Structure 1
Amino acid sequence: MNKTPIISLLFCLLLASCSKPADLFSSYEEAQSALISLNTALSAQKNPHSTGLSNEQLPFTDAYLARRHAIYQQLMQMKLTVAQTTQVNYLVIAERFPERYFAWPAHTDVLSNMLSIVKNDAQKKNIEQWLIFVQTQLKAAEKSNLKLNKIEHNYLKHYVQQAINSTDTPIELNESLSVLNNYLTQYKPRGSIGLSGLANGSQWYQSKLNYFANDVLSPLEWLSHIDSKFKSMQSQKQQTMVEASNVSQLTKLLLTDDSKIVGLDWSTGYTLLPQRANATQLEPADAQLYMAMMETDLGVHYHAWTLSQARLNLLKRLNISEEDARILVEDILFYPGQSFSFAPQLLN
């Protein structure tokens, strides 16, 4: 079945919605609220006043990108704190990189989020078109040497299979889910799991290090600092082996506090992560944990370590199980550079 006319119609609708005048925000909080609403399908933020799923909320479509860009541009004209300004600049820089080709971020079940807020058949049709769009973007990405890694690939296959097998999935999505499932079944993920395996991935990773660490150092310079710190800890007998009970996702430690500092990035739970990390007093075991995560982060995203190399490094540094190491490696894959939010506290 030829999907091209359908896709063209979808983008006409999306572009039409982009032509509406942009909102004028009177405060940072209003702009943040607009971003939270825009990213509903990505972060599943509950909104009791939601009218369902709009075209602009279909992740990484032209309408979504135009709306997000307009919000960022207004934020850049506001009087913000240093931390807020730094985050806006980081998000604007990220617009240059290939995230838009991966319309379904593998660490969030976008389809499930969408189905939880959809209100009518027209919105279900939008989801159907978005599933087609996901495949179209992945095909376009392949032509630009941009491919999912095997972990991302496995997660997307799982989400699609889960939806196909669920009795709660609207029958209107059956065909588009089946087509996407067939495509993902034959899809060949890239060999490298880190950002360095993507075109412009090294520059993308550097921008993340710069933001989360609040410093501009190369990966090799960071690695030198981490190595020196580990040697110092060993010579002073300060090294504490982390028990399995200390292992948790990075965001759990930082984002579960009611006093979190509000930010703009859905992937950090709308927290200003560097500032939140700076306000978190680490126990020795947690310090050891994040030191090991930073070291492994560099190994994966800069030195192109394999999954096995990443897991072995964590097992060497921490007293954890294979399953704990797997969880930490996935955190590192899905949230590149975020562990460096602790760099100022641990490496200075």
Structure 2
Amino acid sequence: MYKKLSFSLLLCLFLVACSKQPQPYESFEDAQVGLKTLNMALVLSGANKTDKITKEQLVFSDAYLAKRHTIYQNLMGMELNLNQIAQVNYLVIAERFPERYFNWPAQVDVLKNMLAFEGTKNTPDNVITWLKLTQETLDSAKQSNLKLNKVELALLQSYVLSAIGTNDVQPALKSHIRAFSDYLASYRPRGSVGLRGLPNGTQWYQSKLNYFSGEVHSPLEWVTLLNEKIKVLDRVAFDSKQPTSHQKSFLVKYLSDEKLIEGLDWQANYQDLPAMASNMDMSDKDKTLMLAMMESDIGIHYHAWTLPQAKVNLVKRLKMSPEEAQYLVEDIILYPGQSFSFIKQMM
């Protein structure tokens, strides 16, 4: 009897041990690699094309969201430094907000990136699935008053038209792309270009301000603090080569000469922007530029400034062309709060 009992206990222990799956990500670096692989359609490296995009890599699909959540949960169980903990907390909080209802982040030509996978040319099923999912999700989001703004809609339309004009896309896939183009042509965007125009958008924006600034102040408190700094600075020239896309944010490009500090967020190009910004040796010119961006950031995302209002404000603060102002305002719309990475250098 005792032999049978001992054998049963050993068997139970063996089964329990077998049922425990090893942690797939054991370090910050492992998790970052996992996120980079998952986000191949968002940040595509030309040197790392794979044969075919996987279902997990279909941006904001159920499989994608489940995989990303698993990586975040693994990170929460690791021993991390304070900056890394702040990044993880920020990304976990973002899971609650409306981002997942917009399958196609407008700053990225996701369709072009997906078509760059070699196997997609012969088996485009996943691309077609993703286009259908994106349309269904946008339709479903409308029921909760979640809509693209006009800047996002215009960018998506430009990507789709570009794909239609590409000879490499096979006819069967191109017909689905045309159907999605027709859908976008009839889509009516929301009035506000800022986050405040979305349900829970104000809270979402606050979470971004908290993370990038490293402080907890309301937008109105930030306005008061910024005004004290802006009023003593002179108008300066905006020196920047005119970018061609928003694939990388203006802030990521601005910090490109600084020492890299690794991050987890694809929207920051896997860089820890607040940490890198705090190490930058800033001139008065740099500070004026960032203060103008922060002021416009709050104007757009909290005070619901229109696109023309935001452009006028930037031109008032900075010596820049209308085209440069257009680009910078679009970047602020697409990457809310990032400019607040520099706030500690000014307070």
> Equivalents in 2 of 1:168, 1:122: separation in Å?
11
Partner residue in 2 for 1:198: 198
1:89 aligned onto 2:83? no
Q: Percent identity?
A: 49
2:285 corresponding residue in structure 1: 285
Residue 252 (structure 2) aligns with: 251
**Residue in structure 2 matched with residue 242 of structure 1 by the alignment:** 236
Q: Which residue identity does 1:86 align to in structure 2?
A: A
User: How far is the alpha carbon of 1:171 from its aligned partner?
Assistant: 2.2
Task: Name the aligned partner's letter for residue 251 of structure 2.
Answer: L
Tell me the amino acid that sits aligned with residue 89 of structure 1.
Answer: N
Report what 1:32 is aligned to: 32
Matched, 1:79 2:79: yes
Distance in 2 between residues matched to 1:23 and 1:317, nearest whole Å: 51
Which residue identity is paired with 1:117?
F
- Which is further off, 70-79 or 45-54? 45-54
CA distance in structure 1 between the partners assigned to 2:230 and 2:169 by the alignment = 50
The CA distance in 2 between the partners of 1:131 and 1:120, in whole Å, is 14
Query: Per the alignment, in what secondary structure is the counterpart of residue 35 of structure 2?
Result: helix
Query: Is 1:218 aligned to 2:218, yes or no?
Result: yes
Map 1:49-198 → 2, pairs under 5 A: 50-120=50-120, 123-198=123-198
CA shift, 1:165, in A, is 1.3
Q: 1:210 to 1:79 in 2, by over 3 A?
A: same
How many angstroms apart in 1 are the aligned matches of 2:305 and 2:49?
A: 45
Greater mean deviation of Cα atoms: 201-210 or 282-291: 282-291
Alignment partner of 1:319 is 2:314: no
Q: 1:258 to 1:37 in 2, by over 3 A?
A: farther
* In structure 1, C-alpha distance between the alignment counterparts of 2:235 and 2:27, rounded to whole Å: 46
Aligned residues of 2:194 and 2:302 also touching (Cα < 8 A):
yes
Closer, same or farther in 2 for the Cα pair 1:214/1:341, shift >3 Å?
Answer: same
> Partners of 2:119 and 2:57 in 1: how far apart?
14
Q: Which amino acid aligns with 1:175?
A: S
Distance 1:312 1:304, change over 3 A: same
Query: C-alpha separation between the residues in 2 aligned to 1:190 and 1:28?
Result: 38
RMSD (Å) for aligned C-alpha atoms: 1.6
Q: Distance in 2 between matches of 1:66 and 1:242?
A: 46
Q: Deviations over 1:199-257 (max 9, x none)?
A: 110000000000000000000000000011123x2xxxxx2422232477222111x23
Aligned CA distance change for structure 1 residues 247 and 303 (closer, same or farther; 3 Å): farther
Query: Which one-letter code corresponds to 1:245 in the other structure?
Result: D
- Distance verdict in 2 for CA 1:122–1:26, change over 3 Å: farther
Matches within 5 A, 1:301-320: 301-320=301-320
* Cα distance in 1 for residues equivalent to 2:293 and 2:104: 25
Query: How much has 1:22 moved relative to structure 2?
Result: 8.0
Aligned partners of 1:258, 1:186: CA distance in 2, in Å? 44
Structure 2 residue runs without a partner (length 5+): 1-20, 243-249
8 Å contact kept, 1:242–1:286: no
Greater radius of gyration (CA):
2
Kept in 2, the 8 Å contact 1:250–1:331? The answer is no
Conserved in 1, the CA contact under 8 Å of 2:236 and 2:288? yes
Which residue type is aligned with residue 253 of structure 2? K
Residue 246 of structure 2 is matched in structure 1 by: none
1:27, distance to aligned residue in structure 2 (A): 1.4
Residues in 1 aligned to 2:22 and 2:42: alpha-carbon distance in whole angstroms: 22
TM-score by length of 1: 0.88
Contact 1:54/1:123 (8 A) holds in 2: no
Paired AA for residue 241 in structure 1: R
TM-score by length of 2: 0.89
Structure 2 counterpart of 1:343: 343
Equivalent pair of 2:102/2:138 in contact (CA under 8 Å)? yes
Once the 2 structures are TM-superposed, how far is the Cα of residue 141 of structure 1 from its aligned partner?
0.8
Name the SS of the counterpart of 2:124 in structure 1: helix
Aligned-partner SS, 1:119:
helix
Equivalent pair of 1:36/1:45 in contact (CA under 8 Å): no
AA of the residue aligned to 2:252: T
How far does the alpha carbon of each residue in 1:55-95 deviate from its partner, in whole angstroms, 9 at most, with x for none?
Answer: 10000000000000000000000000100011000000000
Partners in 2 of 1:46 and 1:30 — Cα distance? 21
Q: Matched residues in 2 for 1:89 and 1:122: separation?
A: 40
Shift of residue 102, structure 1, vs aligned partner: 0.6
Partner of 1:12: none
AA aligned to 2:266 is: W
